[in-house]
Amino acid sequence: MIIAIDGPAGSGKSTVAKLVAQKLGFAYLDTGAMYRAVAWRALERDVALDDEAELTSIASSEPISFGYLPGEPLPSKVFINSQDVSKEIRLPQTDKAVSPVSAVLGVREALVAQQQRIGVLQDTVMEGRDIGTAVFPNAELKIYLTASPEVRAARRLEQNLRRFGKDAPNMNREEILAEIIRRDTYDSEREHSPLVAADDALTLDTSAMGINEVVDWIAAHATA
């Protein structure tokens, strides 16, 4: 069974998807991390973000894999071609580069193929932007999570603090909000597989909901 969780940045997808996977004993795949890994590689190599051929070549020739931190039930380490890029993919420069990189058709085709290969192996909670529309259009359960931009910016700020501690790269709520709005607009307006709820997705606005409430709601639909 595939549970597809799509939605904009900061909608709570990652936290919720991980907890749902744990609760149901499913595997978990963060597809955004894959686009981020390609974007980071492009930045590292000074590849222009409109060089479609080179970006496609990175996505199709450098495999992305995931790993576990000691004691973790779900994978959170991200590797591209065996190089650990777990921290780098969360830096503000990667946030900025990832939308144009993920708009490239060749990049999407290469990563979607990897995601489909991973998803057929076992029951999986897969989170992203196009899981219910393009990666697994026949997913048994499709959830579209959303929340107000202000709530999403506050969540992203907390997440940065948790991830980076005192070295958190961006602590300014206004800047985070502007970045989130910029990225959502780009992701929603791109030509290939834009961010949009699938017709048969259940949409949930999580602005005023607690994490556990959202997780229980999704788990109840999965087991109904």
Nearer to ligand DC, 121 or 220 (CB): 121
The pairing of strands 77-80 and 83-84 is: antiparallel
Residue 89 tokens, joined: 């993919």
Sole window of 62-70, 123-131, 148-156, 216-224 interacting with ligand DC (rule: CB under 6 A): 123-131
Helix extents (H) in 103-210: 105-119, 149-164, 173-189
Residue 87 pairs in a beta bridge with none
- Contact set for ligand DC, span 15-74 (CB under 6 A): 31-32, 35-36
Residue 83 pairs in a beta bridge with 80
**Residue 102 engages ligand DC in binding (rule: CB under 6 A):** yes
- Minimum CB separation of residue 92 from ligand DC in Å reads 12
**Residue 9 engages ligand DC in binding (rule: CB under 6 A):** yes
Nearer to ligand DC, 99 or 218 (CB): 99
Nearer to ligand DC, 71 or 77 (CB): 77
Q: CA 192, CA 199: separation in Å to the nearest integer?
A: 17
Nearer to ligand DC, 104 or 222 (CB): 104
The size of the interface with ligand DC (CB under 6 A), counted in residues, is 14
- Contact set for ligand DC, span 140-199 (CB under 6 A): 183, 187
Sheet holding 77-80, edge to edge: 64-67, 77-80, 83-84
Residue 130 CB-density burial (10 A; 0-12 exposed, 13-18 middle, 19+ buried): buried
**Residue 128 engages ligand DC in binding (rule: CB under 6 A):** yes
Residues 6+ apart with CB under 8 A from 146: 7, 8, 11, 203, 204, 205, 206
Nearer to ligand DC, 98 or 139 (CB): 98
Sole window of 70-78, 79-87, 97-105, 209-217 interacting with ligand DC (rule: CB under 6 A): 97-105
Where does this chain bind ligand DC (CB under 6 A)?
A: 9, 31-32, 35-36, 98-99, 102, 128-131, 183, 187
